[in-house]
A and B are shown apart, each in its own frame.
Chain A
């Protein structure tokens, strides 16, 4: 655990010092601020557009960051051979992996929080009211990003960074279509196709469930039970991705 904590803190320090992390964050915030300009084009719907754009920016830039962090954990350590010195120390491989993952989680949390607070402040300037429900939407998006991060990290233990990046984006896109797969399964006439669609629906998590943008924008009440269920759902997939990653990393020959 001592080793995991050290590796996690080192990962956070390294990511914060990297220009690419800073650029992703700055561009994300810049996009959100630019949203002020777009909203003047929308008659009577400035606030809605600002919320939509802001939460989408958090999701998209969060996704970029999640994939970048995942791809830059294991691969570069092996390439630069910095992992050799670590593995010669009393650090088990799975603690190393977990330390890196926790570091990614911490960076993502910091980024989502910063972008979320910028959005809340931007809306305060528009509405003269603090809308903390936005941070609730951001926190569920964060869970989805962590699941993607865990998947890409697992893939990057045995695939190239490019392949892992493509897999990350594909997973995100497919995750968003899972609700439609469920709809098709519900209305399927053929029992075989229904079963196959249900299986497809379990292979990849339904990432739309973590998306509370419409609820926040359209002022729809979200019961706490829904949030707990979605969180548990995200944690289930996180456990699966982490287990796969740890097993793959332990088998990895460096």
Chain B
């Protein structure tokens, strides 16, 4: 079942007193199925945040439609089933973490007991149990991100929209948030993830949509978007003699920390290389099929588009 349906969605930002408008979204169409983790990527000003705001009803489209769970985005039944975490969230700094979650929980039909249990569960989930009584004005950036994720989850939503969830976090903070998102993914939530961090998107998402200047340049699974890997990187521990034999076969390698790194081995040659390593009594450490990264694909696609438009 399609959770998100966007059809020819167009948004133009016009100045208050009239004048030339800015085309933020140009006939965007896409569909997100239930249980998918969809990555929305694109350079700054590409229309990611505009798309999210249109889905949340914060903006009104000039043309086109968007529906969530088959209903209009302003429908309160839809709002009961979604959760949103904004980019670099600010919250009411006079509240504690616990009070904030209770405040957001009050908008849903929950009994006091259910609310209390849910708040406890979420604070544990995001690792904020010990800081529950601390005022939000004293929270660090990472803590705010975590409480932001918790509030997005307060109603156990079926659809989660996360805008730059790891923005501004240190590596440990990012790691923790990513793990949380993976947990949610395993709970079969539908997730829309908007991020600049393509490595993160590649790691977490099933499908990716690439926006550029309001247009959807590419959309599909990673397997569809990124070409099949034609080469492999192999890491082995072999003797000098075995290394010479490999060089004779045409595979130049580099010794690093006692291991031989063979780059750009054609896929059809992996078998012979592995056979030689076994025969020579060596050890196989790693075979990694090199696929084009999402970042490379992103840069390549955007550049192609820019050249075409010139």
Contact = CB atoms under 8 A, between A and B. Distances in A.
Report if A and B associate in a common complex: yes
Interface of A: 2-3, 6, 10, 13-14, 17-18, 80-82, 84-92, 253-254
A88 B79 contact: yes
Contacts of A84: 53, 56, 58, 84, 86
Interface residues of B, number: 33
A13 B92 CA distance: 10
B103 interface: yes
B82 interface: yes
Task: Say whether chain B's binding surface is mostly helix, strand, loop, or mixed.
Answer: loop
A156 to B, nearest CB: 15
A90 B80 CA distance: 6
B229 interface: no
Interface in B127-180: 148, 151-152, 155, 161
B51 to A, nearest CB: 14
Nearest to A80: B90
A3 B103 CA distance: 10
8 contacts: A6-B107, A13-B94, A14-B92, A17-B94, A80-B90, A85-B86, A90-B77, A92-B76
Task: Say whether chain A's binding surface is mostly helix, strand, loop, or mixed.
Answer: helix
A90 B108 CA distance: 7
Contacts of A254: 53, 58-59
B106 interface: yes
Nearest to A252: B58
A85 B154 CA distance: 11
Nearest to A83: B58
Nearest to B74: A92
A253 B84 contact: no
B60 interface: yes
Interface in B71-88: 76-77, 79-80, 82-88
B104 A81 contact: no
A89 B59 contact: no
